[in-house]
Structure 1
């Protein structure tokens, strides 16, 4: 790890007062109307920022070629992996493979297997549309998976008998229900299905918007309005139980209960993270509940004033484990491991070697497997719940899984993962005795192209003004003299974390690096990997203590001669978008700002978002309806008059957790105050831009904005 020396900001932020005078360096950038220049000459005109269709620009052509060179060598092949699971006999790993055929829409998902001994990979479910989330039956002879092959966007359960070469058998839920996950019972006689009503909200971390993007009344005339009901009871999440012998299923959970996550708790019960209110915001106030698998009756076994997730029960059902801690988004869970003995109200906190746990799985009745983040590294281990002793079994600096580390299918201490790094394309691996062995590399010529275009990425750390160590990643251009222009890349959440991974898991980061920009991706206060105390410092102080952490990192890079102080930009999505809007209202040092899906006014965010309990949690104890306080003090919109930094905002029209109106009001305010601003809204996109060719358009506009205001 490259460690930097201490550089302190003179004092803490006061959110009511822009901190122009507290910074050691001021940057005043003129917002001229010059055209962007590159080694190839003029490539982008000032008026292009106002164009809806920019496909005729040279920069579009350059980045279209970039993505084509990156992705086309893998067209028609499995090029990414998720949901790895080791079979009960340890001989085969199943996973969800991604297959691209063109730069349009999203990749199709396919259920794949790879033989652990021979490394032979097969695609065993052929769609159409998407097949995903395969789970092994306890005897290893069948795979249950989800597919929307019969109706795009609506998933049903399919069961594939591996002893027979025949089509997977569908289990169709009632109309309007879509399956989100499926779990075999311990004996393999039942499959538990977690389902959501058509039109229910997707989690913000999964793109926000609605499942199927409809209210279930397709075929209505174009003039017919949409309706926002005062109760979303019909759009909740329920549990269904499928009896394989009888080939029949029924709803298990009571209609009034919304079940967000669940797991088998022995053969007779289900442990669930659930709430009585189906709104997305109610997830923040969920409890751990036990549901009888015969009657559907339920009872609460654990409640807390913070968030819960990742339930897992021991084989007998005597012990229930789960993760607890302050969390930003449903489905983006990492925190403290807790244990409850069923039948008692007693709970204990498990020692997991200072790891923020992101997945739990029982190896046997006494040993609980965990994997998660400790600092910037992935750590796996197990806790003996009898002795309460912890044993670390594997650690890596590579990225493992998606947003947080994932591993499942624990067999005799072995488990499967998908790992990658800045230079390592995703691969399926099996971990045993503390060592990882690759069994399926998905590398291809496009990955080699990207490696050749980008410079190195390094782990870095520095000391904030109060002496706290802050960690992150620094991506550097392959060529070009120091000091470099820098893009400060702030993660969302804010309760999240950057981790190592291919492209750093964001397609625009290598685009910036390949075009001469250094990118700093830090984990300031509020990030996972450093324990709940590190996260909790941000509660009530968003844009305060974490802003100091971020700016101190920039200062260190400037002091080291790595970064040009006159060419520093800031970008981020969601909470990172908030910071990309907030920091330019507090400091003149930024030459360009690019907020994606930003919160710009916390009061209107509370009243228009579908996750109002999030801002209540982070602003506590302040009331959003009070005429003053944190909701006012920590809103970029309230300080827009201090912003002279050119701002480009990019948002999805269907975002429900951070509505596009947040960006519109900030854009209008910037224009009114004479600050250069551009607002780009993508139809059909939710919380983040995820589909091609919109991703290309996004990257083109971002790079053009940087080239215009802080050229490399």
Structure 2
């Protein structure tokens, strides 16, 4: 007998991620996130599952073990334990620390093995700032969400000798560097780093290369200085770098770029797909591009779901994973012709699957392949929540008055009668997207559906997965361009009789919080509004948010429009009861934004409540304290049900 998911169930969640496939393709190590109710924290440990089948087994016992990476010979795993590098034999046993706080005071970053297995490279902050020490600020980039005030401390490049534990620092200076990658011959490291005359203001970055030896020379920049360089890797023959980025900085898709080592202009690889390449990151599922022979396997978003693609001489082809399945991690074992993939679908939040790359035929450009197959290796969802059946998600398309087609998803329980309440949920970004599969972060969707609600999620203009023109459609016109992408689909559902026009609620987080505030001032459709992680004053955001100046300069562009497009300028028109939910340590959308909105509504006698979650960053809905995530969903449900009750 099955039952619907409840908010309490989050304490039983087991979410796998960050898979790494052994060089022979026979073993998959990965991180498993579980919930520790007693200590109110997320626990992460390293697990392993065999490609040939059998139960997954736990290799480490946390509470903060992450980023496992196999040595080139498959004999050892390197991983991070509470920020320090550790080594674990593939045969098991106790983990041995490789770095220590004395040698890496701020901790290490993702381990990257040299081809011969003798060294591990990583990027990390060079020093640790004492919590009570004064913070001296001379440039932008002095704080980061989740890390707080970092002052002038920058990430640098390090190499540790595996046998001796000796740590050497390869880069210095006032520019952040990203995760490195070894050249095929093990003599050089490539990495992305801030570049250009005013990188801290503009956000520009480029690929760099540094030789590794007894006398390390200065790094050299490869390619344009004022573009955008994300993760980099080497072509197998060492002739060029593969860069995820853009040749110019601004709002738009990231591409796969082949960057010659001589510094000549990069060449786009696979741009015909017209989809945004996703290398993976918090809130933005994806995976690093990897080589399989002469082909490149990479992730890009399509209609809300992050999918796996391959580009080779025959063109671009999509993986055999079902359309609508989301990918949030991938590791390729080239010699074995396999990939380990973390997938999400209609029935599970995330599981590890093994994909046959050698059977992946190219097919039509951009279309699905034939012949390949995938095998599910883990069963964390059915093991931890065996009695749960998720409510179905149905896809819809809505044509807006100007002809734009907006893709939406409807979640509602089977047999729910027409004419009930509706919750509209707007995603963040604004260049994120709702996916048509299960989601462990927005638990209130499932519980509201159990209470007879319809939940509508919409990929409005600026959403990822619908081409670059759609992606950039709201630049310079936040709110104005996309407000009808919400209001007209709602009107359609009302006209169809699916929902009660008097019982419509609105919520959204981050940019979704912005648009929720904007719409509550522009429309009287909503009986209750719950904005979370909000931004309402674009001018003050520019000087207080880690991303504020980039939003002002590139997403809005015209400084004269900052006030006009700020919801705070229109707060006098808000009438709907509003619940504001915000992380107290949010450095992306600082809590002052929530305080401004609360003040603006409270002084106008609008029913309003502000709830602040102490110590929680902008992304606490994904991996913050379980009690905070539970409270967020419960308060949202209580607010919208109370204010739409008839």
With normalisation by structure 2, the TM-score equals 0.86
Do structure 1's residue 348 and structure 2's residue 348 form an aligned pair? no
2:471 partner SS: helix
Change (3 A) 1:695 1:505: closer
1:178 partner SS: coil
Q: How far 1:421 sits from its partner (Å)?
A: 2.3
C-alpha distance after superposition, 1:404-456 (max 9, x if no partner): x43122434321112222322422111113322111111247634442xx532
Q: Distance in 1 between matches of 2:556 and 2:300?
A: 28
For the 8 Å contact 1:653–1:683, the answer to whether it is kept is yes
Please say which of residues 668-677 and 310-319 is displaced more in the overlay. 310-319
1:274 partner SS: strand
Task: Tell me the residue number matched to 2:145.
Answer: none
2:397 partner SS: strand
Do structure 1's residue 584 and structure 2's residue 520 form an aligned pair? yes
Do structure 1's residue 397 and structure 2's residue 397 form an aligned pair? no
Change (3 A) 1:282 1:94: farther
Do structure 1's residue 443 and structure 2's residue 374 form an aligned pair? no
Task: Tell me the residue number matched to 1:408.
Answer: 331
Change (3 A) 1:475 1:280: farther
Task: Tell me the residue number matched to 2:351.
Answer: 427
Aligned positions of 1:68-147 closer than 5 A: 68-69=8-9, 71-72=11-12, 79-102=14-37, 104-127=39-62, 129-147=63-81
With normalisation by structure 1, the TM-score equals 0.78
Change (3 A) 1:262 1:542: farther
Change (3 A) 1:694 1:103: farther
Change (3 A) 1:345 1:458: same
Do structure 1's residue 531 and structure 2's residue 454 form an aligned pair? no
Task: Tell me the residue number matched to 2:212.
Answer: 293
Please say which of residues 516-525 and 80-89 is displaced more in the overlay. 516-525
Task: Tell me the residue number matched to 2:545.
Answer: 609
Aligned positions of 1:160-239 closer than 5 A: 160-163=88-91, 165-172=93-100, 174=103, 176-196=105-125, 215-217=129-131, 227=135, 229-231=137-139, 232=142, 234-239=152-157
For the 8 Å contact 1:511–1:699, the answer to whether it is kept is no
Do structure 1's residue 663 and structure 2's residue 594 form an aligned pair? yes
1:396 partner SS: coil
Task: Tell me the residue number matched to 1:208.
Answer: none
Q: Distance in 1 between matches of 2:490 and 2:249?
A: 26
Q: Distance in 2 between matches of 1:326 and 1:71?
A: 44
Change (3 A) 1:305 1:677: farther
Q: Distance in 1 between matches of 2:197 and 2:590?
A: 20
Q: Distance in 2 between matches of 1:545 and 1:236?
A: 38
Aligned positions of 1:167-566 closer than 5 A: 167-172=95-100, 174=103, 176-196=105-125, 215-217=129-131, 227=135, 229-231=137-139, 232=142, 234-266=152-184, 267-275=186-194, 284-294=203-213, 295=216, 297-303=218-224, 307-324=228-245, 335-351=254-270, 353-358=273-278, 359-364=287-292, 366-384=294-312, 387=313, 389-401=315-327, 405-411=328-334, 412-432=336-356, 433=359, 434-444=372-382, 447-451=385-389, 455-503=391-439, 505-566=441-502
Do structure 1's residue 704 and structure 2's residue 638 form an aligned pair? yes
Q: Distance in 2 between matches of 1:328 and 1:548?
A: 29
Q: How far 1:675 sits from its partner (Å)?
A: 1.2
Q: How far 1:94 sits from its partner (Å)?
A: 0.7
Q: Distance in 2 between matches of 1:478 and 1:280?
A: 52
For the 8 Å contact 1:258–1:277, the answer to whether it is kept is no
Q: How far 1:364 sits from its partner (Å)?
A: 4.8
1:406 partner SS: strand
Change (3 A) 1:665 1:177: same
Change (3 A) 1:388 1:274: farther
2:630 partner SS: helix
Change (3 A) 1:706 1:163: closer
Task: Tell me the residue number matched to 2:364.
Answer: none
Do structure 1's residue 569 and structure 2's residue 488 form an aligned pair? no
Q: Which runs of 5+ in 2 are unaligned?
A: 143-150, 279-286, 360-371
Aligned positions of 1:28-43 closer than 5 A: none
For the 8 Å contact 1:479–1:516, the answer to whether it is kept is no
1:670 partner SS: helix
Q: How far 1:325 sits from its partner (Å)?
A: 5.3
For the 8 Å contact 1:269–1:317, the answer to whether it is kept is no
Please say which of residues 567-576 and 165-174 is displaced more in the overlay. 165-174
1:415 partner SS: strand
Q: Distance in 1 between matches of 2:246 and 2:573?
A: 36
Q: How far 1:165 sits from its partner (Å)?
A: 3.6
Paired residue total: 602
Change (3 A) 1:119 1:445: closer
For the 8 Å contact 2:429–2:510, the answer to whether it is kept is yes
Higher relative contact order (CA 8 A, sep 6+): 1
C-alpha distance after superposition, 1:24-52 (max 9, x if no partner): xxxxxxxxxxxxxxxxxxxxxxxxxxxxx
Change (3 A) 1:636 1:414: same
Q: Distance in 1 between matches of 2:602 and 2:509?
A: 22
CA RMSD of aligned residues (A): 3.0
C-alpha distance after superposition, 1:270-298 (max 9, x if no partner): 22221169999658322222222331522
